[in-house]
Structure 1
């Protein structure tokens, strides 16, 4: 048991050392790299699927190691917890020691000033030692030094110390780092997000339940019933572009409502989110949704509003429109198994006068065109297997249930109609704008913000404050007293000698002293005497306290 306890203590000391904390912090930064380089499931499942399709062999190993879910993987969580534990074990003892040091008086003066980096004779004064000590103490207090006066017989020493904010800033920085880690963990555990493409119009609004989000993520401590209930509708989206296609204005006019409030309207912009109780709504992107009307063999018309996803800065967009109810049995309403229709294509906001017609020349709808390819067969939507709504079903194409109609792709302008080989028609009615919105709630944000501010303040204190100690020894003299001074910088401080000279000059004026050239270099008799080695060691220990 004693061996096990000793081993545990040794491992605990190793874990809570600053060196281990720095190594773990470096490992955490390295472990976060895959989360920035590789697609993550909580941000976009379709991107992960595309990466896996492009790199099947590599993706199998990456998925086993959790590289597509980095921030929820066991190894990332282990590094995170070890770093948190290491910082707690490292900072708390130092904090206790620092609080005790703040309450402790400055240490007594070392016996031999000549062994200090800075020392000088201040001079002789006609004042009594006690009165001279009072004046030196007042001078140092006016310079914001912590001062302690000690009397040893007829000799009086004044000890002063300054620069404790350096260690305070250092501890504040590390405490802020702990708060930052805690805030991130709190936000991960109790935060959530949901992404949704919203098409303009009263028929395409959505409410905050999981079934209506395109993708979502809940913290481990949340349940679907914990989501706040509110609904959002896009009334209008307005975008402006320069002649070279650079965007200048993105503005979405939305209407929102909650069960507790009547709601209202809000202009949603890139840097102007809609802040509601329990979540914030952000504008992420925009695009066009072609409106297509398909008339089947029975003369029944169906209208589809299908968002197309941009593929370049000119908002050239790809997408698909599916009509699973086309050519259904007119008597029973049963869906057809061989005459369902689908169209995939490219929407071009501005068809170029020259060059490829499938690449837009400008993101605004200056000369819109829709280049379509037609498919007929069984879309396979009854299987229940999740499929992307932005492309023609791949499974149905692969197994031959859905086939492409012969002939070239058809370019349609708004208002034009396309008659297919079986007499059915497709009409391009125009477009409606859509926006990509993200609804997010991160309860750890205020903690992270406060931690970041505290971290910067602590860093400023650590880098700018210099800790130093001063001592004045006042000994009786025939005409009053003699004063000598010594100083010790506790950290690298290039300006210490200048500050020490300024303080000793101020002390000469405050006492005042009668100084001659011999008094400048004259120390007390005991400072000039030879010092045995054991006394040197004792003096060094005394200064280091």
Structure 2
């Protein structure tokens, strides 16, 4: 008998190599082995980010690293090692781990819910073949024995299923629940980190004592934000650094070690005006949740510069960067508005200055004998280009050193209140004094609370999955005797023989049960243990 046989669409779909490959790839991606491998790769990929300066954290440190290590820079730059956490490779591993965890969790969650709804299993046909068994004669009738067994098992928080000839019980469902909670917490942790990276920001600003900072992007020295953050919607607040205190060890042991540095600040935000103490380990939290940390401090010498026309071309503090533990600092005083020649000064500030055969140096970090050593430069007025430039370095293009005696470059050492008149009517400079500056880190990571909760819940779930022991117990009752048995569903479990014996004793009613703090056990077994 012949005829046309139509193709089975189900079989055609199953034999489709593309469909089979996608199904195989999805199975591999959502396996627990792959999730563990991706987690390991994520941790491995984060190692360079913790060892190599990152542009998202400190662009200045990256520039310093490139200058000091040109060989490594040639290797790291093409590999994207200066922006590890935003690189395509890191993002790919991150997203694959996220998908893998979800693919692992959903089937296990569905399986767990089905298992929870199921009653304990039926009585095995042969209890004697279980991992641990015991048999004893009944001292009570069969219905009473079953009642005793059920009551005992419920008192030990077992789920119980009763039959005419026996009782089946199971416990330890919370072990898988803890495991699922741990893995779900990992997903929530990744969401929290993504939330902070996409909508968070962090930046730093150097603020001289007595001045302030407003939370607008133009006030930052460096600023990094997530791609979804609208910088026009930053929380409106300002901080005034009213007073800064720094103290250093003056004794013979650990001389010069930092002992204290903190600042009194005035915060103006949506909650009003308040005075706060800002220290290294105690940040200020604004009304909108933005966090302000104290990162560092230094000196800001003040200068007054008069140009060749006798006009004040510059007056105020200049931030100097410390170069060593004794706060020997370097800075640049730029005077582009001086006329008829523009002026610039490269300066070195020594808080406790000492001049010896090795040249000037600072022998203590506090300002006990402050002095400034400087070189002077001059040149024709430059056209304003609007291109920003660093306030910490001097571009000498179009400038030449101010000549001193015998054709040497003009150099001078100025104490507080000291000054220097430049030759050829170029002007003068006065060292008026010094202030301190503080470096503030301002950040908002909205996913931090979610991340913290995920970590806490994940640890709790992990502890449950490690310490809960799934166990099944069974007891079969006849007219003359009872047989109890049990098996553990987890490795390294203990106490099964004792619990089977206690179940048998409770069922048969032949021994009085006592409570030793770990549950009811036969009295004679307790005495033997003692």
Q: 1:493 to 1:57 in 2, by over 3 A?
A: closer
| 1:213-292 matches, cutoff 5 A | 213-243=220-250, 244-258=255-269, 260-278=270-288, 279-292=290-303
| 1:121-520 matches, cutoff 5 A | 121=135, 123-151=136-164, 156-201=165-210, 204-243=211-250, 244-258=255-269, 260-278=270-288, 279-301=290-312, 302-328=314-340, 339-352=341-354, 356=358, 358-377=360-379, 382-393=384-395, 397=396, 399=397, 401-403=399-401, 405=403, 406-407=408-409, 409-423=411-425, 424-477=427-480, 482-497=481-496, 500-505=497-502, 507-509=504-506, 511-513=508-510
Structure 2 contact 292–443 (Cα < 8 Å) conserved: yes
Q: Report how far residue 41 of structure 1 moved.
A: 1.4
Q: Which residue of 2 aligns with 1:335?
A: none
Q: Report how far residue 435 of structure 1 moved.
A: 0.6
Q: Report how far residue 425 of structure 1 moved.
A: 2.3
Q: 1:383 to 1:7 in 2, by over 3 A?
A: same
Q: Which residue of 2 aligns with 1:85?
A: 99
Structure 2 contact 301–435 (Cα < 8 Å) conserved: yes
CA separation in 2, counterparts of 1:176 and 1:379?
Answer: 62
CA separation in 1, counterparts of 2:354 and 2:294?
Answer: 29
CA separation in 2, counterparts of 1:46 and 1:379?
Answer: 29
Q: Report how far residue 314 of structure 1 moved.
A: 2.5
Structure 2 contact 160–168 (Cα < 8 Å) conserved: yes
Q: Report how far residue 505 of structure 1 moved.
A: 3.3
Q: Report how far residue 227 of structure 1 moved.
A: 0.9
CA separation in 2, counterparts of 1:379 and 1:461?
Answer: 73
CA separation in 2, counterparts of 1:207 and 1:4?
Answer: 58
For the pair 1:51 / 2:65, whether they are aligned, the reply is yes
Q: Which residue of 1 aligns with 2:89?
A: 75
Ranked by relative contact order (alpha carbons within 8 Å, sequence separation 6 or more), the top structure is: 1
Q: 1:496 to 1:303 in 2, by over 3 A?
A: same
Q: 1:166 to 1:46 in 2, by over 3 A?
A: same
Q: 1:399-438: CA deviations, max 9, x gaps? A: 4534465347433221122233335322111111111011
CA separation in 1, counterparts of 2:216 and 2:61?
Answer: 23
Q: 1:63-93: CA deviations, max 9, x gaps? A: 3432222212222111111000000000111
Q: 1:358 to 1:455 in 2, by over 3 A?
A: farther
How large is the RMSD of aligned CA atoms in angstroms?
A: 2.4
Q: 1:364-418: CA deviations, max 9, x gaps? A: 212222222222225857233332101212xxx3x45344653474332211222
CA separation in 2, counterparts of 1:127 and 1:64?
Answer: 82
Structure 1 contact 195–436 (Cα < 8 Å) conserved: yes
CA separation in 2, counterparts of 1:65 and 1:257?
Answer: 44
Q: 1:503 to 1:514 in 2, by over 3 A?
A: same
Q: Which moved more, 1:379-388 or 1:425-434?
A: 379-388
Q: 1:128-186: CA deviations, max 9, x gaps? A: 222211111111111122222122xxxx2222222222212211111111110000001
What secondary structure sits across from 1:298 in the alignment? coil
Q: Which residue of 2 aligns with 1:38?
A: 52
CA separation in 2, counterparts of 1:379 and 1:432?
Answer: 30
Q: Report how far residue 512 of structure 1 moved.
A: 1.1
Q: Which moved more, 1:76-85 or 1:239-248?
A: 239-248
CA separation in 2, counterparts of 1:231 and 1:365?
Answer: 29
Query: Structure 2: which 5+ runs fail to align?
Result: 1-12, 513-530
Q: 1:251-300: CA deviations, max 9, x gaps? A: 21112224x45423222112222211331211111111000112222222
Of 76, 95, 104 in structure 1, the residue corresponding to residue 118 of structure 2 is: 104
Structure 1 contact 292–428 (Cα < 8 Å) conserved: yes
Q: 1:506 to 1:255 in 2, by over 3 A?
A: same
What secondary structure sits across from 1:68 in the alignment? helix
Q: 1:129 to 1:408 in 2, by over 3 A?
A: farther
Q: Which moved more, 1:185-194 or 1:342-351?
A: 342-351
Q: 1:317 to 1:14 in 2, by over 3 A?
A: same
Structure 1 contact 273–283 (Cα < 8 Å) conserved: yes
Q: Report how far residue 322 of structure 1 moved.
A: 1.1
Q: Report how far residue 355 of structure 1 moved.
A: 7.4
Q: Report how far residue 341 of structure 1 moved.
A: 1.6
TM-score for both structures, normalised by structure 1: 0.84
Query: Structure 1: which 5+ runs fail to align?
Result: 329-338, 516-545
TM-score for both structures, normalised by structure 2: 0.86
Count of paired positions: 488
What secondary structure sits across from 1:315 in the alignment? coil
Q: 1:90-146: CA deviations, max 9, x gaps? A: 01111121122222222123222343221222x111322222111111111111222
